[in-house]
Amino acid sequence: MTARQRREAWHVDRINNAPTAEAAAERMWEWLKAELRLADDQRPDDADGFRWQGIETLARFAKSIPGRHPEERFRNLNGQRPRLPGGGWKAKPRRESQ
């Protein structure tokens, strides 16, 4: 598992294991901010583009909420929570001392 795959799995597991939908949303927002910070460091020419893309995506979603219902798979969950695919974070194996 690469460092990026471990990082993604860790965030997915945190979201999937959140006690509430509100906590899961906060953890998703934390993940997004972490990825944008990485973009600032590693891909500064793309960082603002990712921000604007996220803003547009979230604005479309926000505009869809009034007067509508969630998609069918997110309705009437009866205490069940949908899970993000992925996850399965594992700590990086330690190198043995020689």
In a domain, 98, yes or no: no
In a domain, 30, yes or no: yes
In a domain, 83, yes or no: no
The token pair that represents 9 in the structure block:
């799995």
The 10s digit of each residue's pLDDT in 9-26 is: 989 999 999 999 999 999
Is the pLDDT at 51 greater than 60, yes or no? Answer: yes
Which phi and psi (to 5°) does residue 42 adopt? Answer: -100, -25
In a domain, 57, yes or no: yes
43-52, 78-87, 89-98: least confidently modelled range:
89-98
pLDDT at 88: 80
Q: Which domain holds residue 17?
A: 3-67
Give the mean pLDDT of 6-10.
Answer: 89
In a domain, 87, yes or no: no
Question: What's the structural domain count of the chain?
Answer: 1
E-state strands within 1-98: none
- Percentages (nearest 5) of helix, strand, coil residues in the chain: 60, 0, 40
pLDDT at 87: 81
Residue entry with tokens 């945190």: 14
